[in-house]
Amino acid sequence: MNRPELIQRLKPLFDEVLSLKKKDTPVSIPILFELAALGSNERPEKPGPLKKRIHRRYLRLCRLQEELGQLDLKKAKTNVSFEDYMFSRIDFSRYREIDEKNYATLFFDGIEDFDEAFYKKNLGIGKEELQALIEKSYKKTNGTYALKWENPLILSVMRSLEISLDDIPLFSAEEIEEEQKRLGSFTGKPPLEALYPLLVKRLDNISVAHEDGMITKLFVSSAGELSGIFQPGGKPWTRILIPAASISYSPGLESPN
């Protein structure tokens, strides 16, 4: 399916979604609205969930690029492994006080970028327990969040949320299915079949501007995966945002290529 055909196939759905938004209809379909807005002159007043998720991935890459740029391997001792040298260079003091915006972006909203298995495997606690730990460990004061006390667990938690790349897909078929149910309950129309892979492909060649002016370009590979070319610190990083294995195709539906 070429791009004009794809756009034409999605047009009735997107037109309906945008019309509901303009009427301020009380139906929560933020991902569908954001995707619909991408192909129109409609521009949301605030970034939607997809742009926010992409931006959080960009911020983590910026942090990684910053750390890599500060490494001086000449100073590493010959009897110390690269992993141990990297760990020795981590500035955990940065988690003693975090500005309100960064806290909300990476350490509140950012919790949703990882699944339960990630938290159990890397931190030994579940998502709800982790969120409670952060909330009780920090106190908001004059636009910043100050750490009440330091311990290895909270430092590991904050480090993981700020720098890990083991995130879940940018958006899932389950999220789209749920939004279609909400839309259908309001309009009375049945959901479109095999919508998820079409929406993934719709993001091909879409660019996302970040707050610092850098641009991330999305593309769908020949294997069907959605990837993004990020530019943290002006250095190109290509990341898979939705693996091909996460996309299920209905019989007869052409895979993105």
The CA distance from 156 to 129, in Å, is 14
Instruction: Flag whether 67 is in a domain.
Output: no
Among 212, 222, 245, 168, CA closest to 58: 212
95 plus 24 within the same structural domain: no
Residue that terminates a domain, selected from 163, 193, 210 = 163
Residue that terminates a domain, selected from 144, 163, 182 = 163
The CA distance from 207 to 174, in Å, is 24
In Å, how far are 56, 80, 126, 134, 211 from 117, measured between CA atoms? 20, 31, 8, 19, 31
Instruction: Say what the pLDDT of residue 82 is.
Output: 56
Instruction: Flag whether 71 is in a domain.
Output: no
Per-block mean pLDDT, blocks of 10 residues, the chain (257 long): 82 90 83 87 77 98 88 62 64 94 97 96 94 96 94 94 96 95 90 91 93 95 93 95 78 39
Instruction: Flag whether 57 is in a domain.
Output: no
**Exposed / middle / buried, residue 228 (Cβ in 10 Å: 0-12, 13-18, 19+):** buried
Q: What is the DSSP string of 19-87?
A: HHHHTT-S---HHHHHHHHHTSS---SS--HHHHHHHHHHHHHHHHHHHHHH--GGGS-TTS-HHHHHH
User: How many domains is the chain built from?
Assistant: 2
95 plus 123 within the same structural domain: yes
If residue 148 lies in a helix (H) or strand (E), which one and from where to where?
none
135 plus 183 within the same structural domain: no
Residue that terminates a domain, selected from 163, 184, 215 = 163
157 plus 81 within the same structural domain: yes
Instruction: Say what the pLDDT of residue 249 is.
Output: 46
The CA distance from 57 to 169, in Å, is 11
pTM above 0.85, yes or no: yes
Q: Structural domain of residue 202, as residue ranges?
A: 3-46+169-246
